[in-house]
Amino acid sequence: MADNYGVTFAQKHIQRGEYEQALAAADKHATQDPQSPEPHHDRARALSFLGRYRESVDAYRAAIAADQVEQILQDWEVDDGLFSTIIAWAQTASGEAEQLHIVALYRELLPHGRHGQEADEWSQRFRGLLKTTFVKPRD
């Protein structure tokens, strides 16, 4: 369900930080328009903000599958959101094997995604083969 400007109700809730309400709006949208990838994408985004990464990746999977037909989602937005969700999830994982499995989901879902090299680098980090070069700036 979108308003006159093409922004779904779930997206409005996400913009306001109302992630539970966004989930409810996305679910309602999905029942009214089951072929649309938008509610799956909105759901994926809200779930990621809530730290429910496994569910978020499942919703991204559904959005990507539905968009194969509809072709309405912005590829870069799905790609960036999925990659960010996967890395956040992997960082919460309990061990290297689980981290590597999670990172591998990126290439499974988007084999030609634009974050392939970064996914490989994260795999190396989780194996201890690549140092993290990010240094948090001091205030």
Interatomic CA distance for residues 4 and 83, integer angstroms: 30
Interatomic CA distance for residues 76 and 78, integer angstroms: 6
Where do the structural domains in the chain lie, given as residue ranges?
Answer: 9-127
Classify 128 as helix, strand or coil.
coil
Residue 130 has pLDDT above 50, yes or no: yes
Report how far apart, in Å, the C-alpha atoms of 128 and of each of 6, 52, 62, 85, 96 are: 44, 26, 33, 21, 9
> Are the CB atoms for 123 and 100 separated by under 8 Å?
yes
Residue 72 has pLDDT above 60, yes or no: yes
Q: What is the pTM of this model?
A: 0.89
Strand stretches in the chain, DSSP E:
none
Report pLDDT for 138. Answer: 65
Q: Which CATH number applies to 9-127?
A: 1.25.40.10
Per residue in 50-59, pLDDT (tens digit) is 999 999 999 9
> Are the CB atoms for 78 and 63 separated by under 8 Å?
yes
Interatomic CA distance for residues 43 and 73, integer angstroms: 13
Single-letter residue type at 5:
Y
Per residue in 106-118, pLDDT (tens digit) is 999 999 999 999 9
Classify 2 as helix, strand or coil.
strand
